[in-house]
Amino acid sequence: MTGRLSRYEENKILVCLRVLRREISACESGLGQREMEMSNDLVARLAEINKRFGYIPRGEVEKLARELKMPAAKIFGVATFYSLFSVAPRGKHVVRFCADAPCHVAGGRAVYDAIRATLQLEPGQTSADGQWTFEMVSCLGICGVGPVMMVDDEVYGNVTPERVAEILTAERWRQMDANET
């Protein structure tokens, strides 16, 4: 194995950086300087909670509010601002599909239909077994390889309806879960 990143790995890193830059820039324009300073620590704490529970429970927001002497509504506002956080329980795996126009014209509609049919979910829903959550997102910054979808932090480009079933093979994700435990 060489030290060079594959095109796929480069794309994954670029997507993460673009999403992060966009969220930071939107955050900077929406918050004042003092709020920005406070939010750095707050975002790190929220990320920890989101990782531990898979989402940010209301009770944890209230606990954090008491600890940081900050209104819970403000913390809730920050938690809902970042698309990578959730304030509602999510499935074990989150499937995100890019809903913006360049992906749409590249065949996104058929891929979207294939995801819905495979998961038997509409956007915003979580499967009854808690395995999957399906979400629509805006441009992930790699329109050149649209249609684009993500499963957790894995990014998939040039997705076709036929590839959806292969990507979402339940057995494959069960094995990944088993390897994590």
CB of 97 to ligand FES, least distance (A): 9
d(C-alpha 80, C-alpha 112), whole Å? 25
Eight-class DSSP state of 62: H
CB of 165 to ligand FES, least distance (A): 21
d(C-alpha 48, C-alpha 6), whole Å? 30
98 binds ligand FES (CB under 6 A): yes
139 binds ligand FES (CB under 6 A): yes
140 binds ligand FES (CB under 6 A): yes
114 binds ligand FES (CB under 6 A): no
CB of 100 to ligand FES, least distance (A): 4
149 binds ligand FES (CB under 6 A): no
3-state secondary structure 70-105: CCHHHHHHHHHHCCCCCCCCCCCEEEEEECCHHHHH
What residues contact residue 22 under an 8 Å CB cut-off, 6+ apart?
A: none
Of the candidates 98, 85, 96, 82, which has an alpha carbon nearest to the alpha carbon of residue 142?
98
x/- letters, 39..78, toward ligand FES (CB under 6 A):
----------------------------------------
Using CB under 6 A as the binding criterion, the count of chain residues that bind ligand FES stands at: 10
Q: Which of 148, 149, 150, 168 binds ligand FES (CB under 6 A)?
A: 148
Chain Cα centroid distance, residue 120: 19
| Chain residues in the site for ligand FES (CB under 6 A) | 98, 100, 102-103, 139-140, 142-143, 146, 148
